[in-house]
Structure 1
Amino acid sequence: MQVFEIFSSFQGEGRRQGMRCCFLRLAGCNLGCRWCDTPDARAAAAGKELSSADILNRIEAMGTRYLCVTGGEPLLQMDELAPLLRELSARGYAIDIETNGTIPFCLVQPYASISMDVKCPSSGEQSDLTLLADIGSEDSVKYVVADNADLEYAYEQIRSHPVPGAIFISPVYGSDYAQIAETVMEWDLPVRLQLQLHKQIGVK
């Protein structure tokens, strides 16, 4: 697999926010989002080719049984990723996958919780909203919002595509958090407002 980095930090987002976590960041992405946290990982060539055995050994050396697979877009490497996740799940790992919502994820749902990032207008990209039908109770959906147009878009999609999993509204780092919070407070929707913890405390 093309691996950009493997590192240990705190989970900054999602249902396991604040937990110590091993991150497996794969290289290569099929989008070019304006708010990308890791633009250096977009190109597959930015990664280093590692075997599944090498990746497994590095993950085990981190000493935590919680893994987040991110990117880039990790599901671009589905053929190699799915068997690795199956093995890690069998070894007792809790696994999250962060995906941009453009690639079907059913093959990995038996082994991992999906965190689907639905792209809002300010990102400059679009997700495949039909994939929301596959979000389960252990999965989650995230809307990264920068302005009122993003909030209006998120509101309409949440209303028209209900999911059993958790729904997060995540303000873009440095945006007007108070204004976004005030708007979300007015919604009668089952959402959680969430700031990116890792950016607040200044870690990767």
Structure 2
Amino acid sequence: MKISEIFTSLQGEGKNQGKPCLFIRLSGCNLACRWCDTAYAQEGGTEVSCEAILEQCWRENPRLVCITGGEPLLQKDALLSLLPSLHKRGTIVDIETNGTIAFTDVQPYASVCMDVKCPSSGETSDLSLLRTIRPEDSVKFVVGNREDCEYAHRVMDSYAIAGEIFFSPVYGADYKPLVDYILRNNLPVRFQVQLHKVLGVK
């Protein structure tokens, strides 16, 4: 499995925001979002066996593991060798994905956060995957401007999304018009800034 980094921090976003978390960041991505803040993980990485990753997990004994990238589902076959062991141990696992690769086969072992790409990203997600989001999963729209909010609003109107929905502002964006849009349209979302960036931690 190609690994960019493994580290412990507070989860900065999503439904487990603020909780201590072991992050397993996989290398490689099939997108190149304009505002990507982990571009270093788009390529490269170090080959690490599933056994070695599990050994580190057992040593650190995290309650929560976040598997992210890059796009982790590009290495889905390797993940499916890792996830059952974490699940059997009772570790809570979140997987962050860009919504371009089907994820139903990992859902028995983890909750999924599907990051739906908005226009400012320059990329697109497969919106049909929203139908496979469960109540324990979530959907995130990274929004940078009104156009992104309008796009997310249209997607929400078109799909019955079962999981919690987050609006996360592009880092450095003007928050006020984004919040105004949510309030004016009474959107059923949670506005969430990236806690790790506010705190200045990884």
Asked if the contact 2:146–2:177 (Cα under 8 Å) also holds between the matched residues in 1, the reply is no
- Taking the aligned partners of 2:54 and 2:185, their CA distance within structure 1 comes to 43
Q: What SS does the aligned partner of 1:72 have?
A: coil
Deviates more, 1:55-64 or 1:78-87: 55-64
Q: How does 1:102-181 map to 2 (within 5 A)?
A: 102-181=100-179
Provide TM-score, normalisation by structure 1. 0.97
Provide the residue aligned with 1:13 in structure 2: 13
Deviates more, 1:59-68 or 1:148-157: 59-68
Unaligned residue ranges in structure 2 (runs of 5+): none
In the alignment, residue 183 of structure 1 is paired with which amino acid? Y
In the alignment, residue 102 of structure 1 is paired with which amino acid? T
Q: How does 1:81-120 map to 2 (within 5 A)?
A: 81-120=79-118
Asked if the contact 1:22–1:64 (Cα under 8 Å) also holds between the matched residues in 2, the reply is yes
- Taking the aligned partners of 2:184 and 2:80, their CA distance within structure 1 comes to 40
- Taking the aligned partners of 2:59 and 2:38, their CA distance within structure 1 comes to 24
- Taking the aligned partners of 2:35 and 2:133, their CA distance within structure 1 comes to 23
Summarize deviations over 1:149-187 as a string: whole Å, max 9, x none: 101101110111121100000011111112211111112
- Taking the aligned partners of 2:106 and 2:69, their CA distance within structure 1 comes to 16
Identical counterparts, % of pairs: 56
In the alignment, structure 1 residue 42 sits paired with structure 2 residue 37: no
Unaligned residue ranges in structure 1 (runs of 5+): none
Among 194, 197, 200, the alignment partner of 1:196 is 194
- Taking the aligned partners of 2:171 and 2:20, their CA distance within structure 1 comes to 21
Provide TM-score, normalisation by structure 2. 0.98
- Taking the aligned partners of 2:193 and 2:160, their CA distance within structure 1 comes to 22
Asked if the contact 1:3–1:26 (Cα under 8 Å) also holds between the matched residues in 2, the reply is yes
Asked if the contact 1:70–1:98 (Cα under 8 Å) also holds between the matched residues in 2, the reply is yes
Q: What SS does the aligned partner of 1:200 have?
A: helix
In the alignment, residue 181 of structure 2 is paired with which amino acid? T
Task: List structure 1 runs of 4+ shifted beyond 3 angstroms.
Answer: none
Provide the residue aligned with 1:187 in structure 2: 185
Q: What SS does the aligned partner of 2:105 have?
A: helix
- The root-mean-square deviation of aligned C-alpha atoms, in Å, is 0.8
In the alignment, structure 1 residue 60 sits paired with structure 2 residue 40: no
In the alignment, residue 56 of structure 1 is paired with which amino acid? L
Q: What SS does the aligned partner of 2:15 have?
A: coil
Summarize deviations over 1:23-71 as a string: whole Å, max 9, x none: 000000000011212101101xx11001100011112222322000000
Asked if the contact 1:3–1:49 (Cα under 8 Å) also holds between the matched residues in 2, the reply is yes
Asked if the contact 1:6–1:58 (Cα under 8 Å) also holds between the matched residues in 2, the reply is no
